[in-house]
A and B are shown apart, each in its own frame.
Chain A
């Protein structure tokens, strides 16, 4: 797609120059010169002048977190997110990429999943609970086994979220299918411009899950959930599969009293992940789950729900001192509520806040919601 077409498609030319986007943007607050509004103006002008190469060289497109805050507030409904995503797609096709954090290891892992051999990523599941070869429910585990190796030293045990999830599902009588052939959901590929690989991963996963006879796909990770629910259909058409977020599923069961919960004495605040909140509209289920745990006091940060801010980095791109600043601002906001615990509902938010917290003296603890639930339910 030409950049001109892309401007048309995403309604960027409707921009009224009001600046609400820049005023809302968490990146604009910390990164000097970054402004969605000016970026739009700059790219539209360059496109009019035929300077498409200049646009593709520009670094600003990679600094956007695609958090969707501007999109939500734009009076002209400019699809800024899709604009940035599609620009990245163009830039990627000419060999551009951001600097990926962790020395690009996560991108390498995704590439290596394409080797066509079954992975060995489900051993934990057989230890933690009961799974099936085929069945109605598929549990999409995503990156967690790999995160577990890479971020263990940070005190983040990603795999525990997976096994806690499985145990709770088992308790509800659900014995899901997990598969060694599952590959990355493709979220990061999509948002770093590698659409070809995204499509390949999407169709692989869809075919796999269908082959295993599943109808419902359970996600614990907001990115996987959103990608499967909203982006897979754009590229794979009607899959005949239903994406279910674990919190939605478990929330209903908690309301029906399916779980015995022992008290956890904490004053906690909850961070809405962009993909789960603004982009998938799941705000209340996590809050109600927290509140249903005896002893838990939930307090809100100033910026919550649709106004929540991003954890500072997405698709591992361009992590920098600016990301850190956003994380520190958010941690201070959490601390200001008087909470002792910051609850996250996204494995990446968990990693990013744990990283930022590790170099501070703050008396705050970052906890994954799934793990918190599991400890209250004693599964």
Chain B
């Protein structure tokens, strides 16, 4: 399916898109969900992201941190909406296709985590012959062996990997670079380029007494790898996890699921500095994981060669260190011990770059593979590297971004063209909504994400977060404030009459003494009131531009998909109806041309009149229930327009009763029986005189 979101044009990036490492157009797919166009929403996500369901679950969603709605109450649940768009039965509709004529170049991708999979996917779409080499017996990298299934179910990952392999990509598992095959050998075997995406799977050691000699001390990576490969490693009754990242939280929650009665996380700084995602920490706390902040381990205590406790010391925060976080300083005399019988070390990972150390330059700090610049080329021609192997442990979406970047560079390299540096990320200045705008924006609470019951969570590794229903997703998506899609002014056309200043429900535009209009696009929420009211069409919106409603109906009339009588139904998308209601209406009353409208504020007096000029016998205007009204300040104007339309229809002799305005009920499009009565009424009006003439002719 092609991207046919015709009314959403490419414009200045909204904050959500600019914040995404792969520039996912969240504004676009959120809007498509809001319009019940789920299939297109999925296509919008999938065209950029080969692992969308994965990201819908475990992405750290920097988009949400940037979301303007967050300044009103809470950001749009963008990641959850992505999961919704990717979970539905419509998701098989989008398939990328490699070009008919392959390039004939063989490319080796080493590692099958998010970076490797993304690179393989994009390279295959560019026509290259891709082989994935994976050290572990199973594909997926850290997504597979790092992230527990209660966050990312294995079948979700399987399905996305399969869709990537279906592009004609081959994969060999159990082949470890440096041991089973050398870089040089890959080139000897005919690979023209290699992408190293080996991740960061090597645990950092704690470096405290007891670590090496006592039974019951494990590294988080190996612990999680066992968990995630379906083994049930033995856990103690009381487990201490050392570290504060997502790996630490994953280990803690997994330990609880494997039967640990008490799980303590020990973290050396405060909750403010803790790198794990907030919702993960919350979930862990719900599951009974205790967190000791400002605490460092000093020694693992043992008894009979087994762990028996953990000696710790309390910290206070000192001066900021190199990465800007305040350095923890031990508080003298604050030592204490906790009783534990297992210790999981989760203080960070590094790439296992010794495997390529002889053949490539490796940065000394953290064993990261050195790349020359943002083209991701290494010190060896034809060898590229990206993801955690280059950056150290980072997020899945950053790894995907690296894989996509590598695919571009490798393609250029194979075609003998100069490599290009990645365009620097657009700096979008964080803007603050003025208080007045925040006050006038009706509060619309963020969706509550249902989770499994605590008992079910702890009993197994089933996915904790439940998805959204279609109705929930639509409501959530409709919270979007449509950043940068709002009104723009043609200054040459603007006559400085002040109509928009009066009309704007958020009171955004202002006029200087010289009659020049100031309209801040950042504040605008694209309701379209000013577009409909401007007497000289000097204002237009990027979102549903001027005359959208009429051109929609014109298309239908052009296709002669009209029946007798010809009725146009403009239903506010903010009503509480679903696709099923629209479908049922279509079944029962096929003569109603349905045009769901994103807010009736944008329908002008002239739009309504033009529908009658097109021959409509009646126009139904379905208002959303008052509590759903996003722009209450604009409603009096809409009422006034409808009044004027009726008055003009009366003057013209057509009859004002051809315009029918009603308020939708709490659920559905209209009350039972209402439409039958209305159709009865419309049939007594007879055809629109213009249409009657056309029929007679």
Contacts and interface: CB of A to CB of B under 8 A. Distances in A.
Given A103-B604, A108-B613, A116 B693 contact: yes
Contacts of B496: 321, 324, 359
Interface of B: 491-498, 511, 515, 532, 534-538, 604-607, 609-610, 612-613, 644, 647-648, 650-654, 688-690, 692-693
B605 A324 contact: no
A112 B491 contact: no
The winner among B498, B650, B651 for most chain A CB atoms within 10 A is B651
Nearest to A327: B495
Contacts of A324: 495-497, 515
Nearest to B640: A153
Given A105-B606, A120-B651, A115 B537 contact: no
Contact of B688 (A99, A115, A120, A145): A115
Nearest to A102: B535
Given A112-B609, A118-B653, A119-B653, 18 more contacts: A99-B536, A101-B536, A105-B609, A108-B606, A109-B648, A111-B690, A115-B693, A116-B692, A117-B653, A145-B651, A146-B651, A149-B651, A319-B535, A320-B492, A320-B494, A323-B495, A355-B535, A359-B515
Contact of A104 (B606, B612, B647, B693): B606
A359 B502 CA distance: 12
7 contacts: A112-B652, A119-B652, A120-B651, A121-B651, A319-B535, A321-B494, A322-B492
Nearest to B689: A115
B497 A108 contact: no
A370 B536 CA distance: 28
Interface residues of A, dominant DSSP: helix
B497 A358 contact: yes
A166 B115 CA distance: 83
Contacts of A146: 648, 651
Contacts of B493: 99, 320-321
Question: Looking at B494, B652, B693, which has the most chain A CB atoms within 10 Å of its CB?
Answer: B652
Contacts of B538: 320
Which of A113, A115, A121, A146 gathers most chain B CB within 10 Å? Answer: A115
A241 interface: no
B613 A111 contact: yes
Contacts of A358: 497-498
Contacts of A359: 496-498, 511, 515
Interface string A300-332: 000000000000000000011111100000000
Nearest to A361: B513
Contacts of B607: 103
A27 B622 CA distance: 45
Contacts, number: 104
Nearest to A152: B644
Contacts of B654: 112, 115, 117
Contacts of A322: 492
- Name the interface size band of chain A: 20 to 34
A105 B495 contact: no
B651 A119 contact: yes
Contacts of A160: none
A74 interface: no
Contacts of A109: 609, 648, 652
Contacts of A99: 493, 536-537
A330 B535 CA distance: 21
Contacts of B613: 108, 111-112
B659 to A, nearest CB: 13
Contacts of B535: 101-103, 319, 355
B498 A116 contact: no
A359 B497 CA distance: 6
A99 B494 CA distance: 13
Interface string A249-290: 000000000000000000000000000000000000000000
B644 A149 contact: yes
Nearest to B612: A112
Nearest to B495: A324
A3 B307 CA distance: 100
Contacts of A41: none
A310 B604 CA distance: 29
Q: What 4 A-B pairs come out closest when comparing CB atoms? A: A115-B689, A103-B606, A324-B495, A117-B653
A229 interface: no
A112 to B, nearest CB: 5
A100 to B, nearest CB: 9
Nearest to A114: B690
Contacts of B604: 103
